[in-house]
Amino acid sequence: MAHDLATPQMVHEKMMESNGILAGKKGIIFGVANDHSLAWYCAKALNSAGAQLAFTYQAEALERRVKPLAESLGADFVEQCDLSQDTQIENTFAKLKNHWNNLDFVVHAVAFANKQDLEGHFVDTSREGFALALDVSAYTLTAIAKQAYPLMQASGGSIVTLSYYGAEKVIPNYNVMGVAKAALEASVRYLAADLGQHNVRVNAISAGPVRTLAAMGISGFREMLKYVEQRAPLKRNVQAEEVGKTTLYLASDLSSGITGETIHVDCGYSIMGM
- Report the DSSP pairing between strands 26-30 and 157-163: unpaired
Nearest CB to ligand NAP, comparing residues 84 and 219: 84
Piece of the chain touching ligand NAP by CB under 6 A; list 1-9, 94-102, 148-156, 212-220: 212-220
Which bin fits 156, alpha (ψ -120 to 50), beta or left (φ > 0)? left
Among 54, 75, 103, 109, binds ligand NAP (CB under 6 A): 109
Nearest CB to ligand NAP, comparing residues 33 and 50: 33
Q: How far is the CB of 235 from ligand NAP (least distance, A)?
A: 18
Q: Mark 69-93 as b/e (b = at least 16 C-beta within 10 Å).
A: bbeebebebbbebbbbeeebbeebb
Residue 207 is a binding residue for ligand NAP (CB under 6 A): yes
d(CA 27, CA 113) in angstroms, rounded, equals 27
Residue 162 is a binding residue for ligand NAP (CB under 6 A): yes
d(CA 218, CA 159) in angstroms, rounded, equals 26
Q: Mark 227-244 as b/e (b = at least 16 C-beta within 10 Å).
A: ebbeebeeeebbebebbb
Which residues within the stretch 5-34 sit at the binding site for ligand NAP (CB under 6 A)?
31-33
Nearest residue to 176 via CA among 221, 220, 224, 137: 137
Residue 176 is a binding residue for ligand NAP (CB under 6 A): no
Residue 158 is a binding residue for ligand NAP (CB under 6 A): no
CA 148 to chain CA centroid, Å, is 14
Residues designated catalytic: 164, 174
Among 152, 195, 215, 263, binds ligand NAP (CB under 6 A): 215
Nearest residue to 49 via CA among 245, 216, 259, 191: 245
Per-residue x/- mask for ligand NAP, residues 125 to 144, rule CB under 6 A?
-----------x--------
Residue 80 is a binding residue for ligand NAP (CB under 6 A): no
- Is 202 within 8 Å of 159 (Cβ atoms)? yes
Q: How far is the CB of 10 from ligand NAP (least distance, A)?
A: 32
Size of the site for ligand NAP (CB under 6 A): 27
Residue 168 is a binding residue for ligand NAP (CB under 6 A): no
Residue 118 is a binding residue for ligand NAP (CB under 6 A): no
Q: Which amino acid is at 62?
A: L
Q: Is the dihedral of CA 263, 256, 72, 14 positive or negative?
A: positive
Residue 228 is a binding residue for ligand NAP (CB under 6 A): no
- Footprint of ligand NAP (CB under 6 A): 31-33, 37-39, 58-59, 62, 82-84, 109-112, 136, 162-164, 207, 209-210, 212-215
